[in-house]
Structure 1
Amino acid sequence: MDQVDFEPAQNWNATILRGVDHHPESKQPMSDVFKPPILLRSGGGIHNFLYRLKLSSDGSQLPKVEGSNVLGKLQITWRTNLGEPGRLQTQQILGSPITQKDIELRAVEVPSIIMLEKPFVVRLNLANQTDRVLGPFEVWVSQSDSLDEKAIMVNGLLTMLLAYGCICIFFSSILNFSWLQHLAQVEAFSSSEFELNLIAVKHGVQKITGITVFDTREKKTYDSLLELEVFVDSQ
């Protein structure tokens, strides 16, 4: 076998990985790297090739196409034991469908130490991954869980619980969210940051859940965007 080349699709960069040191080759194009011939036995000879694929730098700005999961194709050239050349180009190789959400919510700053029943602030980033303007947004933290099960909640809600006691518990059955924050429009491929003021009422490993984002213009709700695990210290 003379050579095997992987030609990545437009949105991808490909690097071949060697089995000896598992380090990628230099940044030269793969076609410029000398590839010694590989001998394969007839009747079932096998040689494995490993490529690492990464989205190109401008891949995030390409229009979102449903089912766009084309990775690239292989070019294979060889010679038989009599010296006769052969060439094969595969069809496009498909990967798992890439589902890209319109928006992404991620944590950019979380306290390293979170104390029980002490307020703490989490900074979040809301990213617009489309080629159009989205928003304005409303952001809230759902309180759909029972108050006995909720380990981390909005700081203002706990203050209300302590102030009104059983009266607040009575009304909690008809309130499905608390703490509403308004965010301005987010430009295409841009992001906006905001803060959550939270408080933990249970110690140990806990999860911050229930953050919901609502696009007021498109009337579209985004939930289950982020589930953040933190450790709450009781001392």
Structure 2
Amino acid sequence: MSATHGPHSLAFRVMRLCKPSFHVDPPLRIDPFDLLAGEDFSDDPSSASLFRRHVSSADAVDSDLSYRNRFLLNHPTDPIGLSGLLLLPQSFGAIYLGETFCSYISVNNSSTSEVRDVTIKAEIQTERQRILLLDTSKSPVESIRTGGRYDFIVEHDVKELGAHTLVCSALYNDADGERKYLPQFFKFVVANPLSVRTKVRVVKETTFLEACIENHTKANLFMDQVDFEPAKQWSAVRLQNEDSTEDPPTSGLSGLIPKPPVIIRSGGGIHNYLYKLNPSADVSGQTKFQGSNILGKFQITWRTNLGEPGRLQTQQILGAPVSRKEINMRVAEVPAVIHLNRPFPAYLNLTNQTDRQLGPFEVSLSQDESQMEKPVGINGLQTLMLPRIEAFGSNDFQLNLIASKLGVQKISGITALDTREKKTYELVPEMEVSVLFFFSSGF
């Protein structure tokens, strides 16, 4: 069996199957008569009049042979330069990540004899892997006659950047019965069609994610879908401007008219998306408190000017590193109206964020300053006993408080002492409440 040594009867021809492009005429229009006469022909009156007498029809040539009418626009489409014709792909062209590479491959027999038992293979080779697209080993092509060909189409979803090689090979018997092997290589480079830059901002317990999508191609991208899929410990809502043009039409045909896609212009056009993320309430305690800073990933689909689809999935978007406390307390509810020197209940939730049992706990105000100096203090017993809390469990309880000063006051300094481990936790961050004076009318 020989390889590439010596002449081969077969040869591969490859054409990429993609949407055709528009054929654009040169903006400078010429007169075919310029090919027959010199550029100064029209400047000689005697020569011009002699030419007019020899033309058989007045419509065969413009009566004005000078150059002054060459730039007149005879039709509204003339300045565009589009001829109305479509141009088939002449090369692989630009191939982008997320597209489907589709190629028409023809095996031609250009020799003077028939070849038999042809085994054909086609595969894509990248820096990481080899993907088999076609293999006729189990059912070889019986024969390809002189001047004949065997055609097939292969498709491959492009999922890697960088250099790619389409390897086409044929194993066949020539006219002398010799088994020959023909490999041919067609190289192309896969580029990134767009980039996604993200910014993460955390405001209290709310996380805001901003994504900026930039178009790196030479064509406009019509974004069909830009969806953020949050990790299971998050829920996400997209924030939009009320005046955004992305909103569907408000007419009676709004259910029939499709939502217009977002257009990101070619050569560096950008579009921004903003999402609001909150901790999900539907996940288990262990998943919620394991400390992962993964926010989620984007699913992006688009189409080009002539409708060719593309699809990309980003890597996981990471937020700020999450530091988890062993014990966390949050205020579930406080009254909307709080009156001066009148007790009010505060409903709180104590959560164990570890994988072991903690407690029992003694909940009280910190003793770094006297009770009278605090604008909001505990009413009644100064210490509240709470039972043990299982791993990743929680306990709801009520704390009776009283405000001693008017205006906007802060609730702070609530601590919990683990009586078994002798460890104190500072639980509630400063929370502001509005304290009003209580008026009572009596007769």
Common fold: TM-score over 0.5: yes
How much does 1:152 deviate? 3.9
* Residue 194 (1) aligns with residue 379 (2): no
Deviates more, 1:35-44 or 1:87-96: 35-44
Corresponding residue for residue 7 of structure 1: 229
The alpha carbon displacement at 1:137 in A equals 0.2
Q: Write out per-residue CA displacement over residues 99-127 of structure 1, whole angstroms, 9 at most, x where no aligned residue.
A: 444321426344834234x6x24333232
* Residues 1:222 and 2:425 are matched in the alignment: yes
Structure 1 residue 42: deviation in Å? 1.5
- Cα RMSD after superposing both structures: 3.7
| Structure number having the greater strand percentage | 2
SS in 2 for 1:139: strand
Matching residue within 285, 289, 303 for 1:61: 285
| Shift in Å, 1:217 | 2.4
Query: Which residue identity is paired with 1:8?
Result: P
Larger Rg over CA atoms:
2
Per the TM alignment, residue 73 of structure 1 is displaced from its structure 2 partner at its CA by: 1.5
> Which of 40, 44, 50 in structure 1 is aligned with 2:268?
44
Relative contact order (alpha carbons < 8 A, sep ≥ 6): 1 or 2 greater?
Answer: 1
Number of aligned residue pairs? 202
3-state secondary structure, aligned to 1:48? strand
Q: How far apart are residue 41 of structure 1 and its match? A: 1.8
Residue by residue over 1:39-71, the C-alpha shift from the partner in whole angstroms, topping out at 9 and shown as x without a partner, is 3222221223333434444235233223x1212
Alpha-carbon deviation of 1:213? 0.7
Q: TM-score, normalization: structure 1?
A: 0.65
Cα separation, partners in 2 of 1:21 and 1:115, compared to 1, 3 Å: same
Give me the whole-angstrom Cα distance separating, in 2, the residues matched to 1:18 and 1:111: 30
CA 1:223–1:82: 2 relative to 1, 3 Å: same
Closer, same or farther: CA 133–110 of 1 in aligned 2, 3 Å: farther
State the percentage of identical aligned residues: 46
1:1-235 residue pairs with structure 2 within 5 A? Answer: 1-3=222-224, 4-20=226-242, 36-63=260-287, 64-66=289-291, 68-81=292-305, 85-101=309-325, 102-106=327-331, 108-110=333-335, 112-116=337-341, 120-130=343-353, 132-145=356-369, 149-154=373-378, 179-187=382-390, 188-196=392-400, 198=402, 200=404, 202-228=405-431, 229-231=433-435, 233=437
Closer/same/farther in 2, CA of residues 2 and 107 from structure 1, 3 Å limit: closer
Would the aligned equivalents of 1:204 and 1:231 in 2 still touch at CA under 8 Å? yes
* Structure 1 runs of 4+ with >6 Å offset: 21-25
Q: Would the aligned equivalents of 1:17 and 1:24 in 2 still touch at CA under 8 Å?
A: no
Which ranges of structure 1 fall in alignment gaps of 5 or more residues? 26-33, 157-177
TM-score (norm 2): 0.38
